[in-house]
Amino acid sequence: MDYRKHLLVEPGSRARLDRIDPRFPAITHDKDGIEEHIERNRARIADLQLRIYAERRHSVLIVLQGLDAAGKDGVVKHILSAMNPMSCTITSFKVPTPEEAGHDFLWRIHKVAPARGWFSIFNRSHYEAVLVERVHHLVPKKVWSKRYDIINAFEQLLHRNGTTVIKLYLHMSKEEQLRRFKDRLDDPDKRWKISEADYAERMYWDDYIKAYEEALTKTSVKRAPWYVVPSDRKAVRNLLASQIIADTLDELKISRPKPSVDLAEIRKKYHEAQES
C-alpha cells in the first residue's frame, strides 16, 4: 500500500492537522507483522543508499519535524540506523550559537546539506525559523513571514543540484505527549531527556499547531512535499516513516552501477593468484 497518498500534504492545499488521526487506525496489523514490514523497508533503504553512494549523482535530505516527544530520535534509531554511516550524516539543530546567529538563518543548514552520493538527516531543521521563532516572538512577523519563500527557494536549489528532499512531520496528540513525558519521568534511562521547558512548551500547543499548519501549507511543493506521519503508536510511526522513505527512493530508479574495470581480466588475475 502506498501510504504516501494518504499522508501527503497536497501542494496547494491547506494542511488541517485536526483531520488526521494520530493513531492511524487504518493499520491494524499485530506488532510482529508491523516489525516484519519495517525490517523489509529497512533493507530496501540500505540497498538504495548503497546504490546512491556508488552512483554519486543523487543525494537525499530527510527532514524530521515534530513537537517534543513526537519520536524524531526514535525514527533515527529504529529506521535510519539501517543505513551505512559511511555516507550518512545526522544533524540535530539546537539553539543557534553566537556564530550561527550572526549569519542568515540558512547558513548553518546549507553547510550540512548532503553532497552527491550522501544522505543527510535533520533532527529538527531550518523550519524552526518559522516555528519556535514565530511562536515565541523571537523575530517579528515581518521577518518570519518572508521565510517560507526563502525556504522554498533553498529547497529548489537543493533539488536542482540532485537532492531529493523528504520531509516528515511526526503528528502526535497532546494526550500522548503527556504520557510520554510521564514515561520519561518513570524510566531512569530516559529521565535525562525531560526538562521543565517541556511542560512549559505545552502552554503553546495551539500556537505550534497553527504554525505547523501554515508551514506545511506554504512549503509542501511537488519537488519537496510534506508528509504527516501519525505518531501516537510508535510501531505505526516507524512503519509509515520507513515506507515513505523507501518508496520515495525507489522512484529515483537507481540501478546498480556497472563495473569500471574489465571483469574478465580481474578474474584472470584472481585465478593466477590462486595458482601461484
Q: In CATH, what number is assigned to the domain containing residue 99?
A: 3.40.50.300
Starting at the edge strand that comes first in sequence, how are the strands of the sheet with 226-230 ordered?
A: 88-92, 119-123, 59-66, 163-171, 226-230
Q: What is the pLDDT of residue 260?
A: 73
Q: Give the 3-state DSSP-derived string for the chain, with helices as H, strands as E and coil as C.
A: CCCHHHHECCCCCCCCHHHCCCCCCCCCCCHHHHHHHHHHHHHHHHHHHHHHHHHCCCEEEEEEEECCCCCHHHHHHHCHHHCCHHHEEEEECCCCCHHHHCCCCCHHHHCCCCCCCCEEEEECCHHHHHCHHHHCCCCCHHHHCCHHHHHHHHHHHHHHCCEEEEEEEEECCHHHHHHHHHHHHHCCCCHHHCCHHHHHHHHHHHHHHHHHHHHHHHHCECCECEEEEECCCHHHHHHHHHHHHHHHHHCCCCCCCCCCCCHHHHHHHHHHHHHC
Q: What is the pLDDT of residue 204?
A: 97
Q: What is the pLDDT of residue 166?
A: 98
- Enter the C-alpha cell of residue 223: 519537488
User: What is the pTM assigned to this prediction?
Assistant: 0.93
pLDDT in tens, the chain (276 residues): 788 999 999 999 999 999 999 999 999 878 889 999 999 999 999 999 999 999 999 999 999 999 999 999 999 998 888 899 999 999 999 999 999 999 999 999 999 999 999 999 999 999 999 999 999 999 999 999 999 999 999 999 999 999 999 999 999 999 999 999 999 989 888 888 888 888 899 999 999 999 999 999 999 999 999 999 999 999 999 999 999 999 999 999 988 777 777 778 778 877 878 887
- CA–CA separation, 88 and 123 (whole Å): 13
Q: What is the pLDDT of residue 201?
A: 93
* Domain carrying residue 17: 4-275
Domain count across the chain: 1
Q: What is the pLDDT of residue 180?
A: 95
Q: What is the pLDDT of residue 235?
A: 95
Residues 25-41 have pLDDT tens digits of 999 878 889 999 999 99
